[in-house]
Amino acid sequence: MYCICCKKDKVTPFGDHPEITEEDLLWKNEKTKDDNFKTVNSEMVSNGIIHIIDAGYGSKNDGDQFIIAICDDCIKENVEEGTLLYFDNYMNSYFTKENIDKSKRTYRRRKNLDKLV
């Protein structure tokens, strides 16, 4: 899938079955036995992140959902610039507070610099 930042086809989902195409994985929406849904959000992804995002109330796209991808290189660059903000690590919380604090500092710095210009 194409990265939303660099526009290169670098991010690839891969499922349990090689016969399933990338397109099928991107729009996968299977109901599980426990009445949840299995989507691309629960698939393995190579070289970045693919996720379904929801447009909330107030957006011109209220209620719409979009599949976006961002490659690892652009994640690193955009976190350093404060364009992409670090929120949490659901697998390991060892460096979470440090990463959140760093992201907040970068965000505040960028916002303050924008106000000066």
How far apart are the C-alpha atoms of 70 and 12, rounded to whole Å? 10
**Per-chain mean pLDDT for the chain:** 93
Please give the pLDDT value at position 16.
Answer: 73
Helix axes 72-81, 96-116, angle to 10 degrees: 60
Nearest of 4, 1, 2 to residue 83 by alpha carbon: 4
Q: Which two tokens stand for residue 47?
A: 């070289």
Stated as kind and residue range, the H or E segment containing 10 is: none
What does the pLDDT read at residue 116?
A: 87
Q: What is the pLDDT of residue 47?
A: 97
